[in-house]
Amino acid sequence: MRHAALATAIALLLSAGPALYADNGSAASNLGSNAALTYWRAFAIIPETTPEEDRIIDAVGRGRESKATPEQKEKLVGLWRDALQLMHDAAAIPQCDWGLDLAWAKEGPYLKLPHYAKARWLAEGAAFRAQCLWEKGQRKEAAEDLRAALILARHLGNDGRDTLLGALEQMMIEGRVRIVIEQRLTDREAAEIFADVLGDLSNGSSGPLAKNGILTEKNGNAWLRRQVASRSDGVKRVADALELGYGPSETLAKLRQLQPGDMPKLLDEFDEVEARYDEIAAVAGMPFQEFQANTPALEEKVKASKNSFSVLFRPMLISLHTARMEEEYYRVRWAMVRAAIAIRRDGEGALGSVPDPSDGKSFQYTALDGGAFELKSTILFNRTGVDFKPLVMTFGHAAPGKD
């Protein structure tokens, strides 16, 4: 009987085997559907490079000529091969979840974001290899590297559904990629390759980056509110967190002096904080000229607040200016790339086919020596906080400067 029972058990296990393996395969498949896991593998094998090699790589992303020898370039291309292959593998996976606590439930303002810097350097490696491949005549392969770097950037900011810092990192990485593209848009063939390989990626992110990033930051208020409501040292903990982020201030000193009887009022003030986030996000989501027209009144309203958490309002306004200006700058630059592709393919007459998204007008075109040309926006941008300037992009020239 014992042998019969054992035989029956073995038979059941054998018959269940395919199902068990199918379940394991399904679990593995689900894990493999998250691009972040493959990106982390790529981050883990980013090559160790010397300061001199770092300068060679960094020069590409800044549009500068490199003094590297062919041997140095070939060595670096070899070092980056495996990490960049994983970047391409990850780019083929539509979903990307970095596992961030975007509800700020546990870490709150202490949320760690180590993948941003790693993604930035991986994209730099891709831009560097793309330049090397282009120089060797492997134009399509170079464009594929740039495409994968753009997808990494979009995954980093999750197309406007991630943190505000994530959106800014996304735009910065895409800016480095665009520099490589604009310098290599020298002829019709280049234009055809970029149009084919980049496809809809050249339209820029589809999400309202500044608006969604600000709304994600708003979720941090839930963490602050919970600290005040549930901990005896909640107010001190909140004040410490805000000071860590924004530095000491008179407002935070007063916050630390509040007594238990002040707690109901303090909790009510969170409602105003959340309302300010909503207003700022709404303005950030407006078309650019409306954004510029509505910002001054919003600033005055926010600055007049006597809220105990008003220390949050100044960085909110800085985020509004910085993120929205960068977003518009980002969208105009991508429109210029599309206009430049059209000009290389069909001549100067195609300029009006891609208008400036800020005002709907055509970019200003100026022919330069050596077949290069310049596009200029009519909208003025203030990215430095000093003065307003038109956005200008040059296609077909390397920017001046050495690494």
Give the DSSP letter string of 104-160: -SSSGGG---THHHHHHHHHHHHHHHHHHHHHTT-HHHHHHHHHHHHHHHHHHHGGG
Please report whether residue 258 resides in a domain: yes
Distances (CA, A) of 225 to 267, 270, 307: 7, 7, 14
Query: Edge-to-edge strand order for the sheet containing 389-395?
Result: 364-367, 373-381, 389-395
For residue 330, what is the enclosing H or E element? helix 313-346
Q: What are phi and psi of 51, to 5 degrees?
A: -55, -35
Please report whether residue 88 resides in a domain: no
CA distance 186 to 18: 56
Which pLDDT band, with edges at 50, 70 and 90, does 160 fall under?
low
Amino acid at 36: A
Closest CA to 216 of 306, 262, 269, 284: 284
pLDDT for the residue 367? 94
Please report whether residue 105 resides in a domain: no
Please report whether residue 200 resides in a domain: no
Q: How far is residue 362 CA from its own chain's centroid?
A: 27
Closest CA to 204 of 358, 343, 361, 40: 358
* Highest mean predicted confidence (pLDDT) among 62-66, 144-148, 291-295, 370-374: 144-148
Please report whether residue 67 resides in a domain: no
| R_g of the chain computed on alpha carbons | 26
pLDDT tens-digit map of 140-159: 999 999 999 999 999 998 86
Neighbouring-strand partners of residue 389: 381
pLDDT for the residue 138? 97
pTM assigned to the model? 0.84
Listed residues 264, 291, 324: the one ending a domain: 324
- Work out whether strand 373-381 and strand 364-367 pair parallel, antiparallel, or are unpaired: antiparallel
Listed residues 324, 347, 366: the one ending a domain: 324
Total domain count, the chain = 2
What tokens appear for 59 in the block? 């020069």
- Work out whether strand 389-395 and strand 373-381 pair parallel, antiparallel, or are unpaired: antiparallel
Burial of 117 from C-beta contacts in 10 A (0-12 / 13-18 / 19+): exposed
Q: At what angle do helices 263-284 and 209-218 cross, to 10 degrees?
A: 170
Give the lowest-confidence range in 29-33, 263-267, 283-287: 29-33
DSSP letter assigned to residue 391: E
CA distance 181 to 171: 15
Which pLDDT band, with edges at 50, 70 and 90, does 386 fall under?
low
Is pLDDT larger for residue 300 or for residue 161?
A: 300
Residue 271: which domain range? 214-324
Amino acid at 150: L
Please report whether residue 280 resides in a domain: yes
Give just the sign of the alpha carbon dihedral 93, 98, 129, 62.
Answer: positive
Please report whether residue 254 resides in a domain: yes
Please report whether residue 275 resides in a domain: yes
The SS3 of residue 395 is strand
Q: Is 96 left (phi over 0), alpha (psi -120 to 50) or beta?
A: beta
pLDDT for the residue 61? 60
Mean pLDDT throughout 261-288?
86
Listed residues 274, 292, 324: the one ending a domain: 324
Give just the sign of the alpha carbon dihedral 253, 256, 260, 265.
Answer: positive
pLDDT for the residue 187? 95
